[in-house]
Amino acid sequence: MFTTDENITSSLHPLLMFLRINGFVLFCLHKIKTNEKIAYFEKTNLIIYICHILYTGYAAKNAIKKFCMAPDTLRKVYALVFSINAYALIGVNFIYDKYRNKKILQILRKIYIMDQKLRNSGVILDYKKLKNYSALIMFVEGACYMYFNFDTAIIFWVVLHRDPKVVVLDFLYYTVLHATQVAMTGKCVTFFAIIENIYKHLNEKLERVETSAKLMRDMQCLYHDTYGLVMELNEVIAFQLVVPFCVTFIMVVFHIYYQMVNSALQSSVTVLLWLSTVLVKIVLVIVQIQKAISAANKIKQTVVKLSLTKNRQIRRELLHEEVKISGAKFFDVEISLVAQFFGKAIQYLLILYQSYKNFT
């Protein structure tokens, strides 16, 4: 299904393989190098549609069942919040991304074209490093979720004596739901690691090669093309940033609150592992985006400094091209967002816990 060459497609291979296996994209890696259109109604894609429709139906049934069977108000609220977050993940990965598959393929083709331009200019990216980094992040996150899924299935089967059929279906339900989160992390980390690597190598070339008017023009063009790529990339994956951040924030707050109220947090290694995974994932994405922004700012400063006495037009143009990543314009993704995330989470936890104490 996938082949790799010594170019940017090898770096994208782990991400595209994961997305294709789970049906989150409707095309294979080879289409990045061609102008072929997406065959929306080919046999494989039709099977994907059917599987996703059945899964969405089961998710609705599961949500209604958990809400109706919840013995108290707290658990009903928890079931409702979980269902809303689950459908947010399903909506983005199963519906929105399918509608935007053409856009995703276009941005991948632009990354491939950008890589060709860089190679023609003597800039070779760290393909193997990018590939291994992407694969490692997705593997570790997926492994943590699988541990959580297996542990939950064992508890349902052995301790609560649930029907084995229901246990298996719930296991598949949670596995696919967590796969949507791994997919979102994989996209953000892989794409912005590539952007960081591009800016890093451009800056290294500037510092290594003797400055000339041609070099400055070439660097300006490459910086401008990469800047345009980043802006398009931000537009394509905007909801891949908003939904995980919001879902993680809400689920972490409610999960910790639920465990605090039930006095079970300290005795549950599985819950701690799950919380650690989702929190580290968010921090990792923010840090990777910040590294890409810092790399962009560094090369811009280098180009501006070297062109002060050579080409003031380049300086003016670059100063206007500031790299900023936002979550669908709701918030800017920068390192300070980590402190805001944890600060707000603690604040809402304290409010919820104080309210609980007042009512009991």
> Mean pLDDT, to the nearest integer, of 139-151?
90
Between residues 107 and 344, the one the model is more confident about: 107
What does residue 185 show for φ and ψ, rounded to 5 degrees?
Answer: -65, -45
Domain boundaries, the chain: 101-359
pLDDT band at residue 2, thresholds of 50, 70 and 90? very low
Residues whose CB falls within 8 Å of the CB of residue 211, separated by 6 or more in sequence, listed in order: 306, 310
Task: Report the C-alpha gap between 193 and 178 in whole angstroms.
Answer: 22
pLDDT digits (tens, 9 = 90+) for 158-195: 766 677 888 888 889 989 989 999 998 999 999 999 99
pLDDT digits (tens, 9 = 90+) for 184-194: 899 999 999 99
Q: How far is CA 120 from the centre of its chain?
A: 30
Between residues 12 and 348, the one the model is more confident about: 12
Task: Report the C-alpha gap between 144 and 146 in whole angstroms.
Answer: 5
Task: Report the C-alpha gap between 35 and 293 in whole angstroms.
Answer: 31
Q: Between the ranges 100-109, 154-163, 207-216, 273-282, where is the mean pLDDT highest? A: 100-109
pLDDT digits (tens, 9 = 90+) for 24-60: 989 888 888 888 888 888 999 999 999 999 999 988 8
CB 240 within 8 A of CB 289: no
pLDDT digits (tens, 9 = 90+) for 278-290: 888 888 988 998 8
Q: What is the pLDDT of residue 312?
A: 60
> Mean pLDDT, to the nearest integer, of 314-321?
62
For the cut 90, the answer to whether the pLDDT of residue 17 exceeds it is yes
Between residues 10 and 344, the one the model is more confident about: 10
Q: Between the ranges 133-137, 236-240, 272-276, where is the mean pLDDT highest? A: 133-137
For the cut 90, the answer to whether the pLDDT of residue 225 exceeds it is no
- Return the C-alpha torsion angle 269, 271, 276, 279, nearest 10: -170
Q: What is the pLDDT of residue 307?
A: 60
Average per-residue pLDDT in the chain?
A: 82
